[in-house]
Structure 1
Amino acid sequence: MSTNGTKPPVIGTHNGHFHADEALAVHLLRLLPTYRDSSLIRTRDLDLLKTCDVVVDVGAVHDHDILRYDHHQREFNTTFPGSHTKLSSAGLVWMHQGHRILAEAAGIKEGTPDNALLYQKLYDDFIEAFDANDNGIANYDSKALASAGIEKKFSDRGFSIASVVNRFNSAPVKDTKAVDQSSGQGEEDARFLRASAFIGEQFDLELSDKAINWLPARALIAQAFANRMDYDAQGRILVIPQQADGGAPWADHLYTLERENGCEGQVLYVLFAENGEKDSKWRIRAVSVASDSFENRKGLPEQWRGVRDEELSKVSGVEGGVFVHAGGFIGGNKSFEGALEMARRSVEG
């Protein structure tokens, strides 16, 4: 029962083989107080679906006014504002309910800039991929890749959240107490609930990280960006102010700030302390060419890579060397001054 003594609303979706989008859509709805205690009906019976208060991924109707969120109808071409990706049930629920979800689940008031920013950020970084996957939209044009002679180095199909959710379709149900024995599809429903709980946890972690870490870091990185000329006349070194918990999530904010200021690709290295202690070691991190790339704008010098401690100090000519990764993307020094000197020598090297 709901907190006011009335019967909770019922969520409906289809039975049979399930996908990541409706598993996420159901979780998103349950983040709202209205649906927190809702029961779930999984069916394709249209008469039974009519008894549900909200329906996702089935029913051939998209109408927010009557809480119907299906995307399979022939005429459906709705996209998220600013996106070209056709929505799935997950994207539909987020588009219509996302602002409220952020207010209820993260305490970020509707109508505020922070709410609007996270609403867009979570769609871009998390939910859009569900929409694309469910609608058969690939990251890249496969024909263009083939014509360019670009081939995959390995298969990553088993690595995606969609593939993990798909495994729940045939996963054994270990907790038989969770199975509704009155339903002929009790085990199937139990597997769906496990999938929804799994994918919901991933979303909750993403939301928590963005609200607690990413969002507050905006002002910090903006100030560091404004001060970058203090350390290098060409603005190639960004120093993040020392914090108790080490470095802040800086990459997304840096790319945005560069784009907004017309200096994309300018910053080559980011410096941050390992912790807030006075004698904290400092790290130097090469900036990637893009947020999802392993390629750096400029890696740390080749002769430093894979070298540690006194040997690193000797090779680099900078006292206090701790290490430089063999990949050249990160290194460390015992002091801020040492890390800064490593960065200065790297930008000129």
Structure 2
Amino acid sequence: MTENAAKRLKTSDSGAVAIGTHNGHFHADEALAVHMLRQLPAYASASLVRTRDPALLATCHTVVDVGGEYDASQNRYDHHQRTFTTTFPGRPTKLSSAGLVYLHFGRAIVAQHLKESEDSEVVGVVWRKFYESFIEALDAHDNGISSYDPDAIAAAGIEKRFSQGGFGLGAVVGRLNHNWNDVLPSDPVEAQAAEDARFELASRRIGEEFDRDLAYYTTAWLPARAIVQAAYAKRFEFDPEGRVMVFEGLSVPWKDHLYTLEEEQKTEDQKKVLYVLYPEKPTPGAKWRIQAVPVSKDSFQSRKALPEPWRGARDAALDEITGVPGGVFVHASGFIGGNATFEGAKAMAEKACSF
């Protein structure tokens, strides 16, 4: 359990705070670490010192990603030491400076967004979820940890089908460094100022992504939690095996919450949700969707896609194939379909479960 950030932070009477990090080529982890700190009142007006000079770093209130020291009591957050092995609770990935700052200050940042105590349950829920969904990727990127075991990939003979453009979170920052052949000011002071300006831009840029994602998890993902819990609890009303879950108002972000509920309740595979039904709009007479549950959050593979004969069919042709009136469409991949009414969507789900 990390110490409450408000209790640990101490600033001088003048209120002047400086954050130190290294100069030279910058990376996503320290750019985000600086942004996160500046979300807190104690750091809101903090100046930035980019240097590798130990004497200058010693004058900084907080130092990230440089200095060879991890000591939260002294606000030193480097991860490059040979002996450094710290990870986020329950996760295997070694932390970067971003992960270290989030470990110690993330609860305070989340609490500000939710207007809750740092120790509240909901703050803890979002704090852990946001680490896994956003921060951990940066920790892995900075520490050279691949998403998949490279040896296992090579042994399986799996080759990448296409380039993703190299546009991950790390690239958001990396692309803002000077190119090797850029013309830089000849004066060292001016050159450093130009580099610092690029770093500040990079910190704001990845900070925008951080702020946007955190806003989603606090204002959309978290409120959806109770709605998914209620729908999950009622699923046996729609299918005796609990394989159909229904949102009776409007669909909410449900995948994360569904997988968590199934894991927490140790749901047997044959009773896991296969299809989710929801209206297209929260208005009377709205059409309904039937969506197959993917095998994982980001997978294009469904636990049980809608039947192959239905795929690509629409309207009357779909009615004839399914034997259910009111059909609108079924996607060519079978991951989603539609019907004019709830009763029609439910009938499609019943037939798909037993197909």
Using structure 1 for the length normalisation, give the TM-score: 0.91
Residue 304 of structure 1 is matched in structure 2 by: 310
- Out of 328, 331, 341, the position equivalent to 2:334 is 328
CA–CA distance in structure 2, aligned partners of residues 252 and 71 of structure 1:
30
Residue 258 of structure 1 is matched in structure 2 by: 262
CA–CA distance in structure 1, aligned partners of residues 316 and 117 of structure 2:
52
> 1:271-297 deviations in whole A, cap 9, x for unaligned?
111221011111111001111211100
Q: Which deviates the most, 309-318 or 276-285?
A: 309-318
Is residue 12 from structure 1 mapped to residue 20 from structure 2 by the alignment? yes
Is residue 186 from structure 1 mapped to residue 190 from structure 2 by the alignment? no
Is residue 221 from structure 1 mapped to residue 221 from structure 2 by the alignment? no
Unaligned regions of 5+ residues in structure 1, if any?
Answer: 173-180
- Percent sequence identity is 54
Deviation at 1:26, TM superposition (A): 0.7
Using structure 2 for the length normalisation, give the TM-score: 0.90
Residue 108 of structure 2 is matched in structure 1 by: 100
> 1:225-250 deviations in whole A, cap 9, x for unaligned?
111111111111010121xxx31111
CA–CA distance in structure 1, aligned partners of residues 215 and 253 of structure 2:
13
CA–CA distance in structure 2, aligned partners of residues 185 and 106 of structure 1:
38
Instruction: Report matched runs for 1:273-292 at 5 Å.
Output: 273-292=279-298
Residue 175 of structure 1 is matched in structure 2 by: none
CA–CA distance in structure 1, aligned partners of residues 179 and 268 of structure 2:
47
CA–CA distance in structure 1, aligned partners of residues 343 and 179 of structure 2:
54
Residue 207 of structure 2 is matched in structure 1 by: 200
Deviation at 1:59, TM superposition (A): 0.7
1:184 match: secondary structure: helix
Deviation at 1:109, TM superposition (A): 2.0
Residue 158 of structure 2 is matched in structure 1 by: 150
Deviation at 1:154, TM superposition (A): 2.4
Structure 1 residues 106 and 200, CA, compared in 2 at 3 Å: closer, same or farther?
farther
Unaligned regions of 5+ residues in structure 2, if any?
Answer: 1-11, 181-187
Deviation at 1:106, TM superposition (A): 3.4
Residue 348 of structure 2 is matched in structure 1 by: 342
Structure 1 residues 264 and 182, CA, compared in 2 at 3 Å: closer, same or farther?
farther
CA–CA distance in structure 2, aligned partners of residues 136 and 301 of structure 1:
42
Structure 1 residues 250 and 44, CA, compared in 2 at 3 Å: closer, same or farther?
same
Structure 1 residues 333 and 171, CA, compared in 2 at 3 Å: closer, same or farther?
farther
Q: Is the 8 A contact 2:61 2:75 kept in 1?
A: yes
Q: Is the 8 A contact 1:289 1:296 kept in 2?
A: yes
CA–CA distance in structure 1, aligned partners of residues 112 and 128 of structure 2:
17
Q: Is the 8 A contact 2:29 2:142 kept in 1?
A: yes
> 1:270-328 deviations in whole A, cap 9, x for unaligned?
01112210111111110011112111001111122122222222222222212211111
Is residue 86 from structure 1 mapped to residue 90 from structure 2 by the alignment? no
CA–CA distance in structure 2, aligned partners of residues 190 and 316 of structure 1:
61
Q: Which deviates the most, 89-98 or 217-226?
A: 217-226
Residue 177 of structure 1 is matched in structure 2 by: none
CA–CA distance in structure 2, aligned partners of residues 318 and 303 of structure 1:
14
Deviation at 1:156, TM superposition (A): 3.2
- Structure 1's consecutive aligned runs of 4 or more residues displaced over 4 angstroms after TM superposition are none
Structure 1 residues 233 and 326, CA, compared in 2 at 3 Å: closer, same or farther?
same
> 1:143-173 deviations in whole A, cap 9, x for unaligned?
112112222222336131112321111379x
Q: Is the 8 A contact 1:171 1:191 kept in 2?
A: no
- Out of 248, 254, 258, the position equivalent to 2:252 is 248
Residue 212 of structure 1 is matched in structure 2 by: 219
2:26 match: secondary structure: coil
Q: Is the 8 A contact 1:32 1:105 kept in 2?
A: no
Is residue 139 from structure 1 mapped to residue 147 from structure 2 by the alignment? yes
CA–CA distance in structure 2, aligned partners of residues 106 and 219 of structure 1:
16
> 1:57-103 deviations in whole A, cap 9, x for unaligned?
01111111111100011111111111221110000001111111112
